[in-house]
Structure 1
Amino acid sequence: MKLKRLGIIAFAASALLAALSGCASGPTAEDGKSLVIWNYEDESSAMGQAWKRAVEVFKEEHPDVKVKFAQQAFTSTKTNAQVLLSGNDVPDVMEFNKGAAGAGQLASQGLISPLTDAVEKYGWDKTLASPSLQQLSRYTTDGVPGDGDWYGIPNYGEYILWYYNKDFFAEHGLQVPTTRAELDQLLADIKGLGVTPVAASAKEFPYIHTWFQYVLRDAPADWVNCYQLLECKVDFDAPYWSEGTAAAENLVKDGYTSPNITGITHEQMGVNFLSGKSPLMTSGSWWFGRLKSEAKFDWDAFAWPEQNLNQGSVGNLWVVPTKAKNKDLAYEFIDITLRPEIQNILGENGGLPIAGDPSAITDERTAKFTTTFQELANSNRLALYPDFPFPGYFEELLKDSQSVANGSKTPEEVVDIVQKFYEDGLKNSSASK
């Protein structure tokens, strides 16, 4: 049964290819004696800490293998993956985004290897037994998630939530909101103190998530399968589209974010929260580990209140490029990342492990954070990210989200643009023929 769940400006391709290929050069030349790993994660994040230990374990078990562990930029790798993986200097295993427009597209183009045999060999299908964990790991020949061969292996979960500065809240007598009305009042109260309430970014992806949280708050549960899995017609005239878009626009218009939000990057957004410039930030669970290690103030997190659906899913996937020279070593590394030792590092640092032991989490804040994710998942209230259905959708939604943020188009105009891109994508999708 399919679960009812929903998961930039490119650099010059030639320059990026040269830069990223440089990370993989050298070690890949030695078949069976090297392993090149590309990942997105900040080294201070829960995933970064877990993967660091996974590399150490791999080296302990393979002392004769050279390991190159390189951090790559999410946006540039996503945008230029087809160019990068068509070359001969590719990593052996890499972290990549999930969904039809991510791993599904690479699978349909033959750029990443099917992992079904490795899944059976290592028993990953038993470790990841839940259909919700397999949905974004398996893809048809057309790149549609949910069925077909395994092409990626997830290790953690993620979802969109609010982070808040507890010291600021205590100083000003503010309470964590439990309703939409209370959230709206909280934003107004903080602005009344002469402080910008929300650290946000529309230059990169965070504001896309904020926008679609507002769309999803009244969206029906079956919207996910229609929109994401192309199972039925999507009603773009439904009020949750225009009303949610208007609410996202008002977040900026009412002065609850910095007025130059379209010039603020994902990193700058986090710095604005960490520096105390804004006491709220809504973004992904991937920030949790970094806040634990860098925040100089007391902080915590809460779910979007009265939210019908909430963006979230399994995290990014380990994939193995078709041209990888050391696939067997890649499979061994992937298997290490699913071991209890590594999964428990994820859990203790707020990484939402999918194969770990939740009871092993000793930190109260982290345990609550993990429980919130489990409650959303168990109640089928997780919705995949809005750019998943088609290749190129991310770039379109980034542009459209900036139109929402700067008010250059009305909510109705933005929804019309999104609808046209979606319906054009549906017509061009081989999965719809």
Structure 2
Amino acid sequence: MFSTNRFSRRAFAALAGTAIAALALSGCSTPEGSSAPKTLKVWWWENDDSALSAGWNRAVELFKEKHPDVTVEFELKTYEQMQQSGQLLLDSNDAPDVLEYLKGNATAGVVSQAGLLTDLTDVAKDRNWKLDGTAQDVGLYENGIMGAGKRYGVTNYGEYVSVWYNKDLFAKQNVKVPTSLQKLEQAMETFSGAGVTPLALGSQDYPGTHLLYELALGNMDKKAWSAYQQFEGDVDWSAWEKAARTVQDWTKRGYISKDSTGVSAQDAGNAFAAGQYPMFVSGTWWAGSFADDIKSFEFDQFLFPGNDQHPGSGGNLWVVPEKAKNKELAYDFIEITMSPEIQNMLGNKGAVPVAGDESAITTPIGKLTTPRFNELLNSNDGGLGWYPDWPVAGLNDVLVAQTSDLVQGNVTPEKAVEAIETAYEQGKPTK
């Protein structure tokens, strides 16, 4: 997910249709043995007003400057489209040359194992791409499992989940930024006592599962995390039961609204931006839109208190389908997205670059998110905890459903975790 994750973990608007940015420039040359003009087909799903879209559109412009004989055909997809039909699209003879694709075992892992992605291991080495940081682990897969093996994708941005908060509402209730789970609950009790629901939550979408995972991570050590995410040992499901009980308890106390089960991620984020809630647990993919849209109050973020690990990772991937017709051009495009100009542009617009120069990132939102991401990357005792739906295909739907039922009170914490465990065990790869 998105999420990232994932959920490609991020708030994705439902986009429809295809936007073609076809630039048929004069003087087009022809490939060897072909009378057809050169074409680079590029797909992504980011909103037109997002920092990523702005950066990647600039990358297209730079690509055109370097390749005046190439026509660029851009198609706008949706996150849901790629999540549900990505494998079929990649297996088509009409597959693009380069596209944004979802990271994780259940997505990039599946299609890499099916032979639908180009192995970029030697390409990265021959072109001297600097991909040593752990943020780039999302592009490595071995037998469909993320984190090691051959390189099938490259990310040019990162992301992490934090608690966005309304500084004005905190000041009004004399609430300070909490530094422990107990102090977070005390802060929420203060808001609840004043008739304010503390948490904006879209329980029918990824914010609910991210909150559940934050609470579970608070009960995990590195060994327990590795067991869950990397199948190294037995999973400690008691950590998840504690998290599930907390979600249900917070709902009973009024910290979470039962009505959130009908709320999407986008609507929850919009409600926070409108000043209706003091806090919103979600990712850095909101940073750019919050910076642009929030004018009536000051906002900030803090990491989920008490946790050493936080949901997050390198971002979704640029991949090259095995059936791509112009792979060298695709490699050129990926290279441009990693250039200093694009990386620093992403940072200044609120995205989180994986290879930006912090001294060149001067906007307030860039100064807020980029250094913290780098701190998480370089942490020795915690850092980025990936996303809860990554281990197996289909797990996201179960997590969303069970979190929603927990908020509604339709299921006990034990039964909710039992359903999650069943889906996990059924989808776990056999050794």
Structure 2 Cα separation of the partners of residues 164 and 30 of structure 1: 58
8 Å CA contact retained: 2:348, 2:365:
no
| Cα shift at 1:338 | 0.2
Q: 1:241–1:317: structure 2 CA closer, same or farther, 3 Å change rule? A: same
Are 2:316 and 1:324 equivalent residues in the alignment? no
SS at match of 2:247: helix
| Cα shift at 1:412 | 0.7
Partner of 1:243: 242
8 Å CA contact retained: 1:214, 1:244:
yes
8 Å CA contact retained: 1:106, 1:112:
yes
Range 179-188 or range 330-339, more displaced: 179-188
Structure 1 Cα separation of the partners of residues 37 and 319 of structure 2: 18
Structure 2 Cα separation of the partners of residues 245 and 223 of structure 1: 17
Partner of 2:235: 234
Partner of 2:356: 356
Structure 1 Cα separation of the partners of residues 78 and 224 of structure 2: 31
Deviations 1:240-277 (A, max 9, x none): 22111111223333222332212111211111111112
Structure 1 Cα separation of the partners of residues 357 and 235 of structure 2: 38
- TM (norm. structure 2) is 0.87
Partner of 1:272: 271
Structure 2 Cα separation of the partners of residues 342 and 179 of structure 1: 37
Equivalent runs, 1:352-431 vs 2, <5 Å = 352-364=352-364, 366-379=366-379, 380-426=382-428, 429=429
8 Å CA contact retained: 2:44, 2:75:
yes
8 Å CA contact retained: 1:139, 1:148:
yes
| Cα shift at 1:368 | 3.7
Give identity over the alignment, percent.
39
Deviations 1:365-407 (A, max 9, x none): 5324323222222223321111111122222222222222222
Q: Which runs of 5+ in 1 are unaligned?
A: 1-5, 9-15
Deviations 1:204-232 (A, max 9, x none): 21211111101111211112221111122
Partner of 1:11: none
1:52 to 46, 49, 57: 57
8 Å CA contact retained: 1:196, 1:256:
yes
8 Å CA contact retained: 1:300, 1:365:
no
Range 204-213 or range 325-334, more displaced: 325-334
| Cα shift at 1:71 | 3.3
Partner of 2:137: 135
Partner of 2:83: 78
Q: One-letter code of the match for 1:242?
A: E
| Cα shift at 1:419 | 1.4
Q: 1:80–1:401: structure 2 CA closer, same or farther, 3 Å change rule? A: farther
Range 83-92 or range 304-313, more displaced: 83-92
Structure 2 Cα separation of the partners of residues 318 and 137 of structure 1: 9
Equivalent runs, 1:67-216 vs 2, <5 Å = 67-124=72-129, 127-130=130-133, 132-140=134-142, 142-216=143-217
Q: One-letter code of the match for 1:302?
A: F
8 Å CA contact retained: 1:96, 1:319:
yes
Q: Relative contact order (alpha carbons < 8 A, sep ≥ 6): 1 or 2 greater?
A: 1
Q: One-letter code of the match for 2:318?
A: W
Partner of 1:282: 281
Structure 2 Cα separation of the partners of residues 167 and 392 of structure 1: 40
Q: One-letter code of the match for 1:315?
A: G
Structure 2 Cα separation of the partners of residues 7 and 397 of structure 1: 13
Partner of 2:29: none
SS at match of 1:76: helix
Structure 1 Cα separation of the partners of residues 163 and 42 of structure 2: 32
8 Å CA contact retained: 1:219, 1:308:
no
8 Å CA contact retained: 1:159, 1:373:
yes
SS at match of 1:293: helix
> How many residues get paired?
408
Q: 1:83–1:285: structure 2 CA closer, same or farther, 3 Å change rule? A: same
Deviations 1:262-302 (A, max 9, x none): 21112111111111121211101111111111111321111
Q: One-letter code of the match for 2:249?
A: N
Structure 2 Cα separation of the partners of residues 291 and 69 of structure 1: 27
Deviations 1:91-126 (A, max 9, x none): 2211112111121111011222211232123212xx
8 Å CA contact retained: 2:38, 2:70:
yes
- TM (norm. structure 1) is 0.87
8 Å CA contact retained: 1:7, 1:311:
no
| Cα shift at 1:196 | 2.4
8 Å CA contact retained: 1:221, 1:381:
no
Partner of 2:9: none
Structure 2 Cα separation of the partners of residues 205 and 268 of structure 1: 12
Structure 2 Cα separation of the partners of residues 251 and 85 of structure 1: 43
8 Å CA contact retained: 2:22, 2:71:
no
Structure 1 Cα separation of the partners of residues 53 and 247 of structure 2: 32
8 Å CA contact retained: 2:137, 2:147:
yes
